[in-house]
């Protein structure tokens, strides 16, 4: 028998897809178990409850997304413009390619809000705020260093997050544009107007090609 740690990624993936496709309340643990290759009864050996499963999916997705941004910021620590451009690009590619199935739920619905316990909701909001704070910090640093025009940091950060959260709703791998093309378009549109030096935009664009994503390890809980 495979251990809980070995089965966990499969269960999270199956749950994320089910919650995204049919909704939290319509998705059943029996369907999630079948998609993960186990019996309906056996799934409760690996999870505490359906609500806990939703919380775990959301938190794993947040950790994954935060890992992308932190890796980018470390790689480009001297340039806020590069940090922001590459963070948007790589997060968009990850969302389009569904590198983590929980990114399907980045667009948080009222259904999910009411499904979580008050404690889980509090912890999720705290994680979401830490994620948003990364974008605010990059924007503030860019303004302070003279890379970006002065702007409303809160609104700019939420504009970026809105684009990221919605992309899985409409992007289709079989569509006319690739994940790379869509991610690059968004990075240029969101960062370009902020730049004081417009010549930098073409330099940033030249730095990304398909397959240039920073590797990120998904944190797993046993």
CA 95 to chain centroid, in Å, comes to: 6
Examine residue 217 and state whether it is found in any structural domain, yes or no.
no
Give me the domain span that covers residue 145.
49-206
Examine residue 220 and state whether it is found in any structural domain, yes or no.
no
Specify whether 191 is located in the same domain as 104. Answer: yes
Give the C-alpha separation, 114 to 108, whole Å. 11
What integer pLDDT is reported at residue 213 of this predicted model? 52
Are 38 and 51 in contact by the 8 Å Cβ rule? The answer is no
What integer pLDDT is reported at residue 43 of this predicted model? 87
Give the C-alpha separation, 158 to 178, whole Å. 24
User: In 3D, which of 13, 27, 97, 6 has the Cα closest to residue 61?
Assistant: 13
Q: At what angle do helices 4-22 and 50-75 cross, to 10 degrees?
A: 100
Examine residue 219 and state whether it is found in any structural domain, yes or no.
no
Specify whether 64 is located in the same domain as 164. Answer: yes
Averaged pLDDT in 10-residue chunks for the chain of 222 residues: 70 89 90 90 87 92 92 95 96 84 67 88 92 97 97 97 85 88 95 96 91 44 30
Beta bridge partner(s), residue 195: 148
What integer pLDDT is reported at residue 109 of this predicted model? 65
Examine residue 112 and state whether it is found in any structural domain, yes or no.
yes
What integer pLDDT is reported at residue 123 of this predicted model? 94
CATH number at residue 2: 1.10.10.60
Structurally, the chain folds into a number of domains equal to 2
What integer pLDDT is reported at residue 221 of this predicted model? 32
Specify whether 194 is located in the same domain as 91. Answer: yes
Are 48 and 56 in contact by the 8 Å Cβ rule? The answer is no
What integer pLDDT is reported at residue 215 of this predicted model? 40
Specify whether 21 is located in the same domain as 123. Answer: no
User: Tokens 């947040």 map to which residue?
Assistant: 62
Torsion-angle region of 28 (φ positive above 0: left; ψ -120 to 50: alpha; else: beta): beta
Specify whether 95 is located in the same domain as 159. Answer: yes
């Amino acid at each position: 028998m495979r251990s809980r740690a070995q089965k966990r990624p499969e269960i999270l993936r199956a749950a994320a897809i089910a919650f995204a496709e049919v909704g939290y309340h319509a998705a059943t643990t029996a369907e999630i178990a079948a998609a993960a290759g186990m019996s309906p009864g056996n799934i409760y050996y690996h999870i505490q409850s359906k609500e806990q499963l939703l919380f775990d999916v959301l938190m794993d997705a947040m950790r994954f997304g935060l890992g992308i941004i932190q890796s980018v910021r470390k790689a480009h620590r001297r340039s806020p413009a590069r940090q922001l451009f590459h963070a948007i690009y790589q997060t968009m590619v990850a969302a389009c390619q569904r590198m983590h199935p929980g990114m399907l739920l980045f667009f948080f619905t009222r259904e999910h809000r009411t499904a979580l316990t008050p404690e889980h909701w509090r912890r999720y909001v705290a994680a979401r705020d830490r994620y948003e704070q990364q974008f605010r910090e990059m924007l503030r640093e860019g303004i302070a260093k003279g890379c970006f025009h002065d702007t409303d940091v809160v609104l700019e950060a939420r504009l970026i997050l809105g684009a990221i959260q919605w992309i899985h709703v409409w992007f289709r791998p079989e569509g006319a544009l690739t994940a790379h093309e869509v991610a690059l378009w968004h990075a240029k549109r969101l960062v370009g107007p902020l730049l004081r030096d417009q010549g930098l935009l073409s330099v940033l664009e030249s730095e990304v090609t398909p397959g240039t994503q920073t590797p990120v390890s998904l944190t797993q809980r046993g």
